Amino acid sequence: MASANVYPPSSEFASRAYVQGMDEYRALYRTAAERPEEFWGELAEKELFWFEKWSHVFEWHPPFAKWFVGGKTNVSYNCLDRHLATHRKNKVAILWEGEPGDQRQISYQELHRLVCRFANVLKGRGLKAGDRAVIYMGMVPELPVALLACARLGVTHSVVFGGFSAEALKARIQDLEAQVVITGDGSWRRGKEVRLKDAVDEALIECPSVKDVIVLQRTGSAIAMKEGRDHWWHDLDQGASEVCPAEELDSEHPLYVLYTSGTTGKPKGIVHTTAGYLLQVTATMKWVFDLRDEDTYWCTADIGWVTGHSYIVYGPLSAGATTMMYEGAPDFPQPDRFWRLIEKYRVNIFYTSPTAIRSFIRQGDQWPNAHDLSSLRLLGSVGEPINPAAWEWYYKVIGKERCPIVDTWWQTETGAIMISAMPGAVPLKPGSGSLPQPGILCDVVDLMGKPVGDNAEGFLVIKRPWPSIARTLWRDPDRYRQQYWERIEGVYMTGDAARRDEDGYYWILGRVDDVMNVSGHRLSTMEIESALVRHPAVAEAAVVGKPHEITGQAVACFVTLKKGNWNHHELGEELRKWVAHEIGSFAKPEQIRFTDSLPKTRSGKIMRRLLREIVTSNTVAGDVTTLEDLSVVTRLSAQHDED
C-alpha cells in the first residue's frame, strides 16, 4: 500500500545538496538515458584516477558487458594514494570501535602505509595479480586493509561473512581455489568470542589449494597454528616495507567474487571488476548520501556482504569520506549501543537495515531518546523493503523529522544502488524506494516482458547494462546468462516483484524466486534444504520464508523423516543446530514441521507457494489444480507446528 504522506526536501537541505531539486535530477537522468557513453565517460574522467585512459566507454555482447575498455587504473590507488596530495592526507579515513570499547582513528596517510605493508606481506608469500584470496574476519580495521592490499596487487578477493560456518567457508574456498586465507583468531559478538581460526582449520581439511593462512591476533585466545602454513599477521608485517606501488590493472580486472545464495544448493560467485564498479559506488556515495567532506558516515553492515564492500570500504574511501566501523552487536551491552556511538562520534549519515530498525522499535523509544542525535543529517535503509510504519518511526524518533531517509534498492549483482531518492531533489514516500539513479532504466513487466502499467504488480527489470553490473558468475557464464538474462528476453531480471505508481516511484514487493531475505541476509531455500537432507534422519525437506516482525522473514521448514522411532521435539532442536552448523546461525530455522509427505505437482515438484500460504495463514487459497494429492495440504493446514 502506498503511504498517504509525502515529504519534500527541506529548502535548507536542498540548498546545500549535491543534486538540488527535481529539475536537476531529471536533467541528470535524461542525459544518462539519452547519451550514456558521454555521461559515464565524463563522470569517469572526473571521479577516478587513470594510469591510462580507455579507448571506448562501453562494449556490449549480450549478456556480457565491458566498461572503459583498454583503460588502466587501480582501486586501492583511487581509495588511498590520490588523497595523499590533498587536504585529506591527515583526515580520518576509518573511525573504528570494537565491541569491548577499544577505539582507533586511522588517517588516509596511515591507512596507505598499513595497506602497502600488508600488500608486501602478500607479495612475500608469492601472491600476484590473478591469484585469489579468501578473507574471513571480524569487523576490525585490518579487514579493509586486507581488501585494499589485495586490490593493490590485483589479487581477486572473496570476503566470507564471519558468521558463516566452516562448511560454508569450505565451499567458497574450494570454488574459488584460493591460495591464501586471511583470518583472525576470533572476534567479539555480544561479549562472546566468535572463534574464526577454528572454523578455518576445519574448512581447510578439504581445501588443497590453500598454501598460506595469515592470522590477525584480535582476541588473544589460544588457537592451533600449523607450522609452514599458518603465520601471524604481526610477525609478517613487522619487517614489511611501506612502499608498494599499485599495479596498473585493466578496467575489467576481477576485483572481487562475492558468494550469494542462489535457487540451487550451490552458492554462486558474483564477479565484480575494477573501473565500472568503482565509478558507480563513488558516484552514488555523492548522489544518494549527499556526502560532504566534513561528514562522519556510518554504514552498519558487515563487510562480508556487498553493502559493506560498496558502502563501507570502496565507495566511501574513493570519495574521501570518514567511514565508521563497529565490531559488535547493536544491543550490547545495552540496546542503546548504536545511539551511544552516534552521539559519541557525532555521526552525520547513518545507513542501516529495516531488520535493525524494527528491533529498535520493539526495544522502545526511551533508548534513542536518552541520547543526543542532533548530529544526524541523513538516514538510510538497505537490505529489504522498509514498511511505511517503520519508515515513519525512523524519520520521527531517530531523525527528529529533520533528516531525509534514502530507502535504497540494489543487489549483490548490481554492485551499487539502483533505486533511491536523491535527498536534496526527490520528495519521499514512506515505503517506496522512489526513483532510479542516473543510467538505470527500470521497468515493471509481465513474464513476456510487456510493461504492466501504473500500480500493477510485475517483475522488476533493468533494460540496459550499467557500469557496476556483475560481469558473470565465477567460472559459470551459462548460469549467469540463464538466471539474469534469459528469464525475460533481453533485459536484466532482478528476481524481485515491484509496482510503479503514477508518479514513477518504485515499490519493491520482495523476491519472486526461492530466495528468502532474513535480516537482510539472502538465503537460498535450496541451500537450507540441501543442508537438512544431509542429516541422517531426513528423507526430504522443503523450506519457505515466513513473515517475521523483526527479521522480515524467518526460515520455516517442512521435513519428512526416514523410517525410525523419532522424538520430534528433540529432533527439531537437533535440526536447528545442524542448519546453524552447516550454513551459519543466521540461517537457523524458526519453525520445523514434521510431515508424512509434501505437497507436489504430478511431475514431482514441491509446491512451495502452498507452503508459504500455510506458514502465513494456515490456510490455502491459491490454485491447487496441479496438486497430486490435496489431502497433504489439508493435513498440513490443520497441523500445529512443532515449536
For 40-54, the pLDDT digits (tens) are 999 999 999 999 999
Quick check: is 501 in a domain? Answer: no
Nearest to 597 by CA among 564, 631, 560: 560
Antiparallel, parallel or unpaired: β 515-518 and 506-511: unpaired
pLDDT at 454 over 80: yes
Q: Are 529 and 543 in contact (CB under 8 A)?
A: yes
Among residues 219, 200, 218, the alpha carbon closest in space to that of 136 is found at 200
- What residue numbers bound the domain in which 616 lies? 518-638
Angle at 179 between CA 173 and CA 181, to 5 degrees: 65
Tell me what percent of the residues of the chain surpass a pLDDT of 70. 95
Helices 568-582 and 166-176: angle between axes, nearest 10 degrees: 40
CA 293 and chain centroid, separation: 25
User: Which comes out higher in pLDDT, residue 614 or 434?
Assistant: 434
- pLDDT number for residue 285: 98
Q: Does some domain include residue 346?
A: no
C-alpha angle with apex 383: 381 to 386, nearest 5 degrees?
55
- Say if residue 626's pLDDT is above 60: no
- The answer to the question of residue 197 being in a domain is no
Spatial distance between the Cα atoms of 394 and 405, rounded to a whole number of angstroms:
8
Tens digits of residue pLDDT in 322-340: 999 999 999 999 999 999 9
**Mean pLDDT of all residues in 400-407:** 97
* Residues pairing with 498 in the sheet: 458, 508
Handedness of CA 312, 313, 315, 318 (dihedral sign): positive
Q: Rounded to whole angstroms, how far apart are CA atoms 576 and 557? A: 10
Note the Cα 428 to chain centre separation in Å: 24
Q: How far is CA 240 from CA 97, 234, 244, 394, 626, in A?
A: 26, 10, 10, 46, 66
CA-CA distance, 130 to 23, in Å (whole number)? Answer: 45
Tell me the pLDDT tens digit for each residue of 222-261.
Answer: 999 999 999 999 999 999 999 999 999 999 999 999 998 6
Q: How confident is the model at residue 2 (pLDDT cuts 50, 70, 90)?
A: very low
Q: Please, where are the H alpha helices in 206-314?
A: 233-238, 275-289, 306-308
Widest pairwise Cα distance in the chain: 73
Instruction: Please tell me whether residue 276 adopts helix, strand or coil conformation.
Output: helix
Q: What is the mean pLDDT of residues 340-361?
A: 93
Q: Is residue 534 part of a domain?
A: yes
For residue 376, is it within any domain?
A: no
Amino acid identity for residue 322 in this structure: T
15: CB partners within 8 A, 6+ apart: none
3-state SS, residue 187: strand
Residues 80-119: pLDDT tens digits?
999 999 999 999 999 999 999 999 999 999 999 999 999 9
pLDDT category of residue 265 using cuts at 50, 70 and 90: low
The helix (run of H) or strand (run of E) holding residue 117 is helix 108-124
Q: What is d(CA 128, CA 244) in angstroms, rounded to the nearest whole number?
A: 13
Per-residue pLDDT tens over the stretch 540-578: 888 998 888 888 889 999 998 888 889 999 999 999 999
pLDDT at position 380 = 98
Q: Mean pLDDT of all residues in the chain?
A: 92
C-alpha cell at 640: 500445529
What per-residue confidence (pLDDT) applies to 1? 39
Q: What is the DSSP letter of 158?
A: E
Residue 560: inside a domain, yes or no? Answer: yes
- Are 466 and 445 a contacting pair, CB within 8 Å? no
| CA dihedral over 486, 449, 67, 49, signed as positive or negative | negative
Our count of domains for the chain comes to 1
CATH number for 609: 3.30.300.30
pLDDT at 302 over 50: yes
Residues 6+ apart with CB under 8 A from 628: 600, 601, 602
> Does residue 229 fall inside a structural domain?
no
Half-sphere exposure (Cβ direction) of 169: Cα atoms closer than 13 Å: 33
Amino acid 624: pLDDT: 62
> Is there a domain that residue 574 lies in?
yes
Lowest mean pLDDT among 124-138, 261-275, 321-335, 545-559: 261-275
- Cα(420)–Cα(18) distance, rounded to whole angstroms? 14
